[in-house]
Amino acid sequence: MQRVLVTLVLSLAFAAGLAVAADYPDKAVRLIVPFPPGGGTDTLGRVLGAKLAEQWGQQVIIDNRGGAQGNIGTAMGAKAAPDGYVLTLAHQGALTINPHLYSNPGYDTLRDFAAVSSATEMAFILVVHPSLPAKSMRELTALAKQNPGKLTYASSSSGPQMAGELYRLTTKTDMLHIPYKGGGPATIDLLAGHVTIMFANPTATVPHIKAGKLRALGVMDGKRNEALPNVPTAIEAGYP
């Protein structure tokens, strides 16, 4: 199962050592989104920010800090003053995968953060540019084997990158990995045909799939996505 999990966290020192004032917050709160604008994580951050601002009666400032597969923004959240006025949208790739990919991501997941709330969980979707003559995962595999090294797959963070690598290793195909700072830039290039394949966050891609600008081949989960009921799971497509 390949899923994107996003949680709202804040500096652990605040949660462990300080009592929250009854009038909290009495000033603007900064919400760090460790990816550029336009992707699924950014969209979620803006929805949460608007709801929190409405509830609190205080401004919630979205601070996009993309780069290093979420490390830059996540490290900023870890180093922020522990006063409760900096929240970090914590992406599962940054918290659980990056510490195994980078010798020093700039933070310690267990030491530096405390979870406030689980925000969303959704499975990645394998999408391709419509110019690619593949209507299923099996057809994509055959196409990749016929054209070694010619197909390109984008990743917006370490989760989609691992999904792409797992697919490549499972199918014994040779595809070129193109990394991006986030889902927004990656989706733009996929729509333009500069890259051909992406394991994507549904939030960023479902509208384009429904508009016919992208083609979905599989859902990386044990069940189908309710927004795309006709798209089979990877298991149904023969890739458990």
Comparing 84 with 152, which gets the higher pLDDT? Answer: 152
Specify whether 118 is located in the same domain as 128: no
What integer is the mean pLDDT of 76-80? 95
Specify whether 10 is located in the same domain as 64: yes
On the question of a cis peptide bond just before residue 25, with omega within 30 degrees of 0, the verdict is: yes
Kindly tell me if the per-residue pLDDT of 17 is higher than 50: no
> Which of 72, 89, 122 marks a domain boundary?
122
pLDDT of residue 118: 85
Q: How many domains does the chain have?
A: 2
Q: How many CB atoms lie within 10 A of CB 215?
A: 19
Kindly tell me if the per-residue pLDDT of 5 is higher than 80: no
pTM listed for this prediction: 0.81
Residue 117 lies in domain: 3-122
Specify whether 12 is located in the same domain as 114: yes
**Are 158 and 175 spatial neighbours (Cβ–Cβ below 8 Å)?**
no
pLDDT of residue 119: 83
Query: For residue 114, what is the domain's CATH number?
Result: 3.40.190.150
- By CB neighbour count within 10 A (0-12 exposed, 13-18 middle, 19+ buried), where does 45 fall? buried
Kindly tell me if the per-residue pLDDT of 39 is higher than 90: no
Query: For residue 197, what is the domain's CATH number?
Result: 3.40.190.10
Rounded to 5 degrees, what angle do the CA atoms 44, 49, 53 make?
A: 155
What integer is the mean pLDDT of 16-41? 82
Kindly tell me if the per-residue pLDDT of 40 is higher than 70: yes
pLDDT of residue 10: 60
What integer is the mean pLDDT of 223-238? 96
pLDDT of residue 121: 84
Kindly tell me if the per-residue pLDDT of 201 is higher than 70: yes
Task: Establish if 207 belongs to a structural domain.
Answer: yes
Specify whether 26 is located in the same domain as 116: yes
Specify whether 34 is located in the same domain as 45: yes
Note the pLDDT tens digit of each residue in 113-133.
Answer: 988 888 888 899 999 999 999
Specify whether 25 is located in the same domain as 100: yes
pLDDT of residue 166: 94
